[in-house]
């Protein structure tokens, strides 16, 4: 009989040892406490998660980990445990040894003794800080996408309205609207590639002039600059209009002509950093290039008003036979990607510019 008892005790001891090994090697923090909220066990994952060693916390209240404004949770948990309830996984905040707050997912279950009496609770805590951060970033991105979609709708409506005023027939109207919407799409693609962080000014210009060909007649010169999303959209529209005009009436309409685009960062007399950008093209005078302001609709609006206003700057558009020059000056912080927080990088472009 004694031998049977010994075998049973051995099996129980082995089972306890296996259970202890599982708890100790778990990636989740596993903590037990009595019904007075006093910590009775603490595994290695709990030490990694909360920063306390087992010697520091065993015998102390679990309230050590709970922020003051959430201590009511513990009273409710203990009450439910006393009633034999298992507290299903829920998300909350806990405090580490260094005082930092972390997001955790908790599951709490009653602990019973050999007589079936509830004597405490077992708590499993999982760090969900990264998941919560990912969730926050997704929400931020969705807000930005929502904003930009609305802004794009405003731009497209303006394109349709302005283009319709100066289109002689439906086919011309369709072609111009399509080309301008495709220009918006090219800027959008650049931003998507960079996760909406911005785009190289050099690449932006190349992307918008590529459809017109004559690359050997285009010269780009300036420092390496990463343009912020708002500026990418508005400068992209400007380069599309300049390229379209040049391909019809200017330097890119034939093999004779030249487009020179330069940009530089300067300091104004008031001590403000400013970006100066110049599009300068020379060509053989085209009979339709000086047909009058009546032919100049949305493109002139973009170059003279929309783009400079969106960048808090100013622009001058000069035309003469065989020559077109567009000069833009804008504060550097309105164009170049700043070193700021994500919240501050939220788009500020104003659809009213197009109305």
Query: How large is the average pLDDT for residues 78-101?
Result: 90
Say what the pLDDT of residue 31 is. 92
Read off the pLDDT band of 8 (50, 70, 90): low
Q: How many CB atoms lie within 10 A of CB 150?
A: 11
Q: What is the pLDDT of residues 229-241, one digit of tens each?
A: 888 989 999 999 9
In the predicted model, is pLDDT for residue 17 greater than 70? no
Spatial CA neighbour of 33 closest among 84, 81, 72: 81
- Write down the CATH number for the domain with range 16-127: 3.30.450.20
Bridge partners for 167 per DSSP: none
Say what the pLDDT of residue 108 is. 92
To the nearest 10°, report the CA torsion of 92, 94, 100, 101: 10
What's the Rg (C-alpha) of the chain? 34
Query: How large is the average pLDDT for residues 265-291?
Result: 81
Tokens of 288: 């339709």
Q: What is the pTM of this model?
A: 0.59
Q: How many CB atoms lie within 10 A of CB 339?
A: 6
Structure letter (DSSP) for residue 166 = T
Share of the chain above pLDDT 90, in %: 41
Residue pair 74/37 in contact by the 8 Å Cβ criterion: yes
Share of the chain above pLDDT 70, in %: 83
Q: What is the pLDDT of residues 166-221, one digit of tens each?
A: 677 787 777 777 888 888 888 888 887 877 778 889 999 999 998 888 889 899 99
Query: How large is the average pLDDT for residues 300-323?
Result: 90
Residue pair 321/252 in contact by the 8 Å Cβ criterion: no
Q: How many CB atoms lie within 10 A of CB 221?
A: 11
For the chain, domain boundaries: 16-127, 132-354
CA–CA distance, 335 with 169 (Å, rounded to integer): 37
Say what the pLDDT of residue 193 is. 80
> Which of 42-51, 149-158, 189-198, 247-256 has the largest mean confidence?
42-51
CA 221, 218, 258, 159 torsion-angle sign: negative
How many angstroms separate the Cα of 213 from the Cα of each of 182, 216, 299?
16, 9, 20
Say what the pLDDT of residue 294 is. 39
Say what the pLDDT of residue 66 is. 94
Phi-psi region of 279 (alpha: psi -120 to 50; beta: other; left: phi over 0): beta
Say what the pLDDT of residue 18 is. 56
Backbone phi, psi, residue 125, to 5°: -120, 130
Read off the pLDDT band of 115 (50, 70, 90): confident
CA–CA distance, 18 with 343 (Å, rounded to integer): 49
Please state whether beta strands 101-112 and 314-320 pair in parallel, antiparallel, or not at all (unpaired): unpaired
Say what the pLDDT of residue 192 is. 78
- Architecture field, domain 132-354: 2-Layer Sandwich (3.30)
What residue has token string 């910590």? 39
């Amino acid at each position: 009989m004694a031998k049977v008892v010994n075998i049973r005790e051995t099996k129980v001891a082995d089972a306890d040892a296996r259970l202890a090994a599982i708890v100790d090697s778990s990636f989740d923090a596993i903590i037990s406490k009595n019904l007075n909220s006093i910590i009775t066990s603490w595994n290695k994952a709990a030490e990694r998660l909360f920063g306390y060693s087992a010697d520091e916390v065993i015998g102390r209240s679990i309230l050590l980990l709970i922020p003051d404004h959430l201590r009511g949770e513990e009273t409710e948990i203990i009450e439910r445990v006393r009633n034999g309830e298992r507290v299903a996984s829920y998300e909350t905040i806990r405090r580490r040894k260094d005082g930092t707050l972390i997001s955790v997912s908790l599951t709490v279950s009653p602990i019973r003794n050999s007589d079936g009496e509830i004597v405490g609770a077992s708590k499993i805590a999982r760090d969900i800080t990264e998941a919560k951060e990912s969730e926050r970033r997704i929400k931020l991105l969705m807000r930005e996408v929502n904003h930009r979609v609305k802004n794009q709708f405003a731009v497209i409506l303006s394109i349709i309205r302005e283009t319709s005023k100066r289109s002689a027939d439906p086919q011309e109207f369709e072609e111009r609207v399509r080309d301008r919407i495709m220009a918006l799409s090219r800027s959008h693609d650049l931003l998507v590639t960079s996760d909406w962080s911005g785009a190289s000014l050099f690449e932006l210009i190349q992307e918008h002039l590529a459809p017109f060909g004559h690359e050997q007649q285009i010269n780009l010169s300036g420092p390496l600059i990463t343009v912020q999303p708002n500026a990418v959209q508005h400068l992209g529209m400007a380069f599309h209009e300049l390229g379209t005009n040049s391909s019809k009436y200017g330097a890119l309409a034939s093999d004779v002509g030249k487009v020179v685009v330069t940009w530089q960062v300067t300091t104004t007399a008031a001590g403000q950093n400013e970006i100066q950008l110049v599009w300068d093209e020379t060509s053989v005078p085209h009979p339709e290039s000086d047909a009058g302001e009546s032919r100049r609709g949305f493109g002139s609006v973009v170059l003279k008003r929309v783009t400079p206003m969106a960048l808090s700057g100013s622009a001058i558009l000069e035309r003469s036979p065989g020559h077109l020059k567009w000069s833009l000056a804008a504060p550097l912080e309105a164009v170049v990607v700043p070193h700021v927080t994500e919240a501050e990088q939220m788009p500020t472009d104003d659809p009213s510019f197009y109305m």
